[in-house]
Amino acid sequence: MTIQPARGTRDIYGSDLRAFLFVEQTARELAKRYGFDGIQTPIFESTDVFCRGVGETSDIVSKEMYTFSDRGGESFTLRPEGTAGVVRSFISEGMEQNVPVKLFYAGPMFRYERPQKGRYRQLHQFGVEVLGAAQAQTDIEVLCLAWDLLGALGVQKYVRLELNTLGDAPSRDAYRTALVEYFSKYKDQLSEDSLVRLEKNPLRILDSKDEGDKRLIENAPKMTDYLNEESRAFFEEVQSGLNTLGIPFVVNPRLVRGLDYYRHTVFEFITESLGAQGTVLAGGRYDGLVQQLGGSAQPGIGFGAGIDRLSILVQELGLVPNAPRAIAAVPVGNENVPEMMKIAHELRLAGYVVEMAYSGNMSKRLKKANKINACCAILMGTDEFDKGVVTVRNLDSGEQKEVKINELSNALNEYRNLQ
């Protein structure tokens, strides 16, 4: 039996990896432009970090975590998402002294899920977090960064932004009471999962994927009807900020997000172009989380973007920049190989992508140059070497010219933008 990758994991290479890195690098660069700094937290943490940070009743904690005891008998968990670890770090590294703190991360997360297209057990997320900033302006800026990221990837017109508010603690409590009252009337129709949610965290019912639950949810009370003045004003400020920036959105009063710690703004960017797994980026404000993990009363807001889903999307839409086209360095005879290697070395130092073709006869070497889709070939035989020149052949037009070896780097400038 050949060895296969573990279920829900995949090898990412070739054009898939190009798409993946296009998404990740675009996100990193953009976040820096918004004044964010990178952070890498460990891939595993004490299980407690996620139980407290994500919430016992969330899907993640209740059924998706990769938890294990190490040889010392302590319980650890492979991180299922990025926020809890970043907040743990914010507290344990003493960053609370220096707020606001703006951090971004990218890396693998692990969830025991039923694998399908766009849903993996090792998934990859890019995320940002702002800690210690309570104003609606921060929500607007974070949403703007998310919108710009989708713009930089070229997918803005394929996504819609859904926005909601969960209000502050008193508003959320009032809403919770209303939901319990409503759903209690339908206990006989609710799914088993939602019956548990009704006891532990009724808001979570709104996130249910069960068809029967969905029908009941349609007529459930709406959060917007239970907001106090302050929460309503906050939500209006966020919406008006988005309008000023020209960022389109729809308010979805059913949007609650899976995690326990959200307050006020919650949002998702959803596409219809990926089938069932349409949410490509999601986040919200999590005032209360820092305290829940043992820190001070610091507010927070952030988002997590699914790199896997975004890379499938940009690939399917043909938006991934082309692979760089190499320059093929082709020695005519075997005796010319060492000199050609030296030329290739110097061109690589000058920043060119160069691929040597030294196997087989001349025809095989030129075939290789075509196979790798080289933009041009540099040819050198003994005559040329004696004259101190090489022949540069444009492989698209077939045109060729002789160039002095010491002028080669400059002469190849026209190919730089293909690389």
State the distance between the two ends of the chain, measured CA to CA, in whole angstroms. Answer: 41
Nearest approach, Cβ of residue 9 and ligand ATP (Å): 11
Query: Whole-angstrom Cα distance, residue 91 to residue 296?
Result: 8
Q: Which stretch binds ligand ATP (CB under 6 A): 146-154, 197-205, 280-288, 373-381?
A: 280-288
| Total number of residues shown for the chain | 419
2-22 as b/e: b if 16+ CB within 10 A:
eeeeeebeeebeeebebbbeb
**For residues 108 and 291, is the Cβ–Cβ distance under 8 A?**
no
User: Is residue 252 a contact point for ligand ATP (CB under 6 A)?
Assistant: no
* Cβ distance to ligand ATP smaller for residue 268 or 384: 268
Residue 263 within binding range of ligand ATP, rule CB under 6 A = no
With helix as H, strand as E and coil as C, how does 325-389 read? Answer: CCEEEEECCHHHHHHHHHHHHHHHHCCCCEEECCCCCHHHHHHHHHHCCCCEEEEECHHHHHHCE
Q: Which stretch binds ligand ATP (CB under 6 A): 138-146, 160-168, 278-286, 362-370?
A: 278-286
Q: In this structure, how many other beta carbons lie within 10 angstroms of the beta carbon of residue 301?
A: 26
Question: Residue 307 CB, nearest distance to ligand ATP (Å)?
Answer: 8
What type of residue sits at position 315?
Q
Residues binding ligand ATP: number (CB under 6 A): 18
Nearer to ligand ATP, 283 or 331 (CB): 283
Interaction of residue 309 with ligand ATP, rule CB under 6 A = yes
Is position 55 an interface residue for ligand ATP (rule: CB under 6 A)? no
Nearer to ligand ATP, 59 or 148 (CB): 59
- For every residue of 103-128, DSSP letters joined together read EEEEEEEE-----BTTB-SEEEEEEE
Interaction pattern, residues 110-149, with ligand ATP; x per rule: CB under 6 A = -x-x----xxx--x-x------------------------
Quote the CA–CA distance of 123 and 114 in Å, as a whole number: 12
Binder among 129, 168, 308, 384 for ligand ATP (CB under 6 A): 308
- For residue 321, give the DSSP letter: P
Q: Label the pairing between strands 122-131 and 75-78.
A: unpaired
Shortest distance, CB of residue 283 to ligand ATP, whole angstroms?
7
Closest approach of Cβ 279 to ligand ATP, in Å?
Answer: 4
Question: Residue 194: which residues within 8 A CB-CB, separation 6 or more?
Answer: 183, 205, 208, 210, 213
Measured torsion, CA atoms of residues 310, 315, 319, 324, in degrees rounded to the nearest 10: 110
Closer to ligand ATP by CB, 221 or 258: give it: 258
- Residue 279 as a binder of ligand ATP (CB under 6 A): the answer is yes
The residue among 47 and 409 lying less far from ligand ATP, judged by its C-beta, is 47
Compose the 169-208 pattern: x for residues touching ligand ATP by CB under 6 A, - for all others.
----------------------------------------
Residue 18 or 111: the one with the smaller Cβ distance to ligand ATP is 111
Q: Name the segment binding ligand ATP (CB under 6 A); options: 23-31, 68-76, 166-174, 304-312.
A: 304-312
Residue 231 and residue 167 in contact, taking contact as beta carbons nearer than 8 Å: yes
Confirm or reject binding of residue 300 to ligand ATP (CB under 6 A): no
The least distance separating ligand ATP from the CB of residue 25, rounded to whole angstroms, comes to: 18
DSSP H/E element including 385:
helix 382-387
User: What residue ranges bind ligand ATP (CB under 6 A)?
Assistant: 81, 111, 113, 118-120, 123, 125, 258, 277, 279-282, 304, 306, 308-309
